[in-house]
């Protein structure tokens, strides 16, 4: 054998040593987001770009979503293996599908649902109590509409006095600007929608749901029961990679959003960084800073089940252990925020 062939053979041998032998088949996972490609979910692209999912033996396909209800349905039907969705939407799904639950949440993104109502400061409104007798713009599927009876009760007003103006979520702020509705509800990022239409943030008043004393968990990672049963190793790897990506994204949002920009060149980095910043307080709460990301408190979840049952009709009240599977969470030390 000549020297050139020897060098080629040695190089190939070293590559095999470096990667632990022949390449292993990767487990393919279809993952649906709850909404479009935005700053707060850029951790998915960060993890993919840094190879965290690949290192767990996973090939993850990430697709945009159209809301939490749709994400639950996508996983329920088997079209997707995992995704992001709202805990209240999951409670409603499990409660209305007794005996045929096909998914569970395994990692929490928002320790506090990032929900609020918005109107013009010049109206004099200061809290959700001031929405009595007013009109609110929103989609029938939005949490701020479905759960409003609970928030209204906590604010000591009659929800029946409120008139709902049904609009697409993308048009809710426009309805307020045009005067078709007094207020609108949504995530804490709604001010960006007003700003895109020329309304300055200091012209708005923000009425947070959390100010009523109601605490709800928000969105988290949901996984199909089929994947949990057939490939628990893949689920554990998915959660490890997600947790790693999520922590690093929170520690360095600029780097995280840049990976989103690489995935979607039309991304406006400044806006997505601002969107991420508006949602961070619902992620990095005093609880997650002390106890770590991703986990839930059973008593808080039990209370949320009661809140959902009071707001929407359920065939049965689901058990908290059926909703959240904590067995795949990494150790607490690995879930602590990096800063």
pLDDT above 70: residue 92: yes
Give the pLDDT confidence of 224-252 residue by residue, as tens digits: 999 999 999 999 999 999 999 999 999 99
Task: Report residue 22's pLDDT band, with 50, 70 and 90 as the boundaries.
Answer: very low
Which residue, 256, 259, 243, is CA-closest to 56?
Answer: 243
CA distance 62 to 238: 13
Q: Give residue 59's Cα distance to chain centre.
A: 21
**φ, ψ at 254 (rounded to 5°):** -60, -50
Looking at the chain, the whole-number percentage of residues with pLDDT higher than 90 is 91
pLDDT above 90: residue 23: no
Which residue, 335, 237, 218, 259, is CA-closest to 29?
Answer: 237
Enumerate residues 6+ apart whose C-beta is below 8 A from 155. Answer: 127, 128, 129, 131, 212
Query: What rounded mean pLDDT belongs to the chain?
Result: 93
Residue 294: DSSP 8-state: B
CA distance 337 to 339: 5
CA distance 62 to 326: 23
H or E element in which residue 44 lies: helix 43-49
Please state the rounded mean pLDDT for residues 250-267: 97
Read off the tokens for 117.
């109502």
Please state the rounded mean pLDDT for residues 22-34: 83
pLDDT above 70: residue 136: yes
Q: Give a three-class secondary structure readout of 108-169.
A: ECCCCCCEEEEEEHHHCCCCHHHHCCCEEEECCCCHHHHCHHHHHHHCCCCHHHCEEEECCH
Specify the pLDDT at position 7.
Answer: 47
239 near 221, Cβ under 8 Å?
yes
Helices 87-96 and 298-311: angle between axes, nearest 10 degrees: 70
Question: Which range, of 10-24, 46-60, 117-131, 238-252, averages the lowest pLDDT?
Answer: 10-24
Specify the pLDDT at position 100.
Answer: 87
Domains in the chain, ordered, with CATH? 27-112+217-335 (3.40.190.10), 115-212 (3.40.190.10)
Task: Report residue 6's pLDDT band, with 50, 70 and 90 as the boundaries.
Answer: very low
The per-residue DSSP string of 237-290 comes to: HHHHHHHHHHHHHHH-HHHHHHHHHHH-TT--HHHHHHHHHHHHHHHS-HHHHH
CB atoms under 10 Å from CB of 128, counted, come to 24
168 near 142, Cβ under 8 Å?
no
96-102 contact pairs (CB < 8 A, 24+)? 96/314, 96/315, 97/315, 98/315, 98/316, 101/225, 101/318, 101/322, 102/75, 102/76, 102/78, 102/224, 102/225, 102/226
Specify the pLDDT at position 24.
Answer: 57
Please state the rounded mean pLDDT for residues 157-169: 97
Specify the pLDDT at position 9.
Answer: 44
Give the pLDDT confidence of 268-296 residue by residue, as tens digits: 999 999 999 999 999 999 999 999 999 99
CA distance 325 to 295: 10
221 near 82, Cβ under 8 Å?
yes
H or E element in which residue 22 lies: none
CA distance 47 to 249: 9
pLDDT above 70: residue 71: yes
Highest mean pLDDT among 20-24, 168-172, 221-225: 221-225
CA distance 85 to 126: 30
Please state the rounded mean pLDDT for residues 194-202: 97
pLDDT above 80: residue 97: yes
């Amino acid at each position: 054998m000549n020297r050139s062939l020897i060098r080629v053979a040695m190089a190939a041998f070293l590559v095999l040593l470096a990667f632990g032998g022949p390449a292993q088949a990767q487990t393919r996972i279809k993952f649906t987001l709850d909404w479009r490609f935005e700053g707060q979910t850029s951790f998915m692209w960060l993890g993919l770009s840094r190879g965290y999912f690949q290192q767990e033996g996973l090939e993850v396909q990430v697709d945009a979503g159209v809301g939490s209800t749709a994400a639950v349905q996508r996983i329920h039907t088997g079209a997707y293996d995992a995704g992001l969705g709202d805990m209240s939407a999951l409670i409603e799904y499990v409660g209305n599908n007794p005996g045929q639950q096909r998914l569970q949440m395994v990692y929490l993104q928002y320790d506090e649902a990032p929900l609020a109502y918005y109107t013009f400061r010049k109206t004099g409104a200061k809290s959700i109590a001031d929405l009595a007798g007013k009109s609110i713009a929103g989609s029938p599927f939005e949490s701020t509409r479905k759960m409003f009876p609970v928030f209204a009760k906590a604010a000591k007003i009659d929800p029946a006095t409120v008139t709902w103006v049904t609009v697409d979520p993308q048009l809710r702020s426009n309805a307020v600007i045009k005067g078709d509705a007094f207020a609108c509800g949504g995530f804490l990022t709604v001010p960006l929608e007003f700003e895109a239409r020329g309304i300055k943030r200091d012209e708005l008043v923000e009425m947070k749901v959390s100010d009523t004393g109601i605490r709800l968990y928000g969105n988290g990672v949901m996984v199909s029961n089929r994947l949990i049963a057939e490939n628990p190793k893949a689920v554990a790897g998915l959660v490890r990679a997600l947790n790693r990506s999520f922590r690093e994204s929170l520690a360095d949002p600029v780097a995280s959003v840049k990976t989103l920009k690489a995935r979607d060149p039309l991304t406006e980095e400044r806006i997505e960084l601002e969107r991420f910043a508006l949602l961070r307080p619902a992620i990095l709460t005093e609880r997650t800073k002390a106890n770590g990301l991703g986990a839930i408190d059973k008593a808080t979840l039990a209370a949320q089940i009661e809140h959902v049952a009071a707001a929407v009709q359920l065939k049965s009240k689901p058990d908290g252990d059926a909703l959240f599977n904590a067995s795949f969470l990494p150790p607490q030390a690995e879930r602590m925020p990096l800063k």
